[in-house]
Amino acid sequence: MKVKNNIILALDVMNGIEASEICEKLTPDIDTIKIGYPLALAEGLEIVETLKENFGYKVICDFKVADIPATNEKICSETFKSGADAIICHGFVGPDSVEACKETAEDFGREIFLLTEMSHPGAKKFLQSDADAIAEMGVEMGIKNYVAPATRINRLKEIREIVGKDAFIISPGVGKQGGEIKETLQYANSVIIGRSIYESDNPKEALKEFIKKSQ
């Protein structure tokens, strides 16, 4: 997945009107957005098609899918039917559940991102201890896309070493959570930024500043 300016906009807002207003300010400097449960639950999966049609974005659904294989297949199927280009799934549920996501994505001609480790402080308590094993599992399964944290550069570096130079890593945690964009892009292909852009007084200028810092 190619990402313009190596920045994915995280739209963690609660309604479609606000989401569209943000997008209007930031097009054409971005071409890929990430939406999560807050927006999808508030507006329904129809919001995916709305944002794609109105702005031409690629849409990653950050649903962190983590259930039994049969349920994962249903979640992914409905998500891809809505027009999503990719979905994020957890790896801690094991290879059979991840395979269900992967196979469904392949059936639709779409992609999955395997989440190895999250960016918030609490992730260190449980997820971090298994993150390397999750990344190794992804490599064994032939997965090419990963999520790894910008808030812990040493961990991001280790995940990159495991998945290899040809894998595509997207990294959350730049901005509000303390991650630095240029440092993160040494190991990640793209960064995920949300509140630091759309909660600023001038979102367009905030985005341009991140683009400048990334160079």
pLDDT of 130 reads 86
Percent of the chain with pLDDT over 70: 99
- Residue 119 tokens, joined: 């960016």
Mean pLDDT of all residues belonging to the chain: 94
Give the confidence band of 126 by pLDDT, cuts at 50, 70, 90: low
The model's pTM = 0.95
> Considering the chain, what percentage of its residues have pLDDT values greater than 90?
89
Placement of tokens 């992609």 in the chain: 111
Two tokens, residue 65: 């899918």
**Cα–Cα dist 153/55, whole Å:** 32
Collect all residues with Cβ–Cβ distance below 8 Å to 70 and sequence separation of at least 6: 100
Cα 138 → chain centroid: 16
Q: 132-181: per-residue pLDDT in tens?
A: 999 999 999 999 999 999 999 999 999 999 999 999 999 999 987 888 99
- For the question of residue 64 being annotated catalytic, the response is yes
Query: What is the assigned CATH class of domain 4-214?
Result: alpha beta
Residue 1's pLDDT band (boundaries 50, 70, 90)?
confident
More confident site: 80 or 125: 80
Measured CA to CA, the distance from residue 160 to residue 48 in angstroms comes to: 30
CA geometry: angle 130, 148, 151, nearest 5 deg = 105
For the segment 185-211, the average pLDDT, to the nearest whole number, is: 96
Q: Where are the domains of the chain?
A: 4-214
The active-site residue, picked from 52, 64, 74, 144, is 64
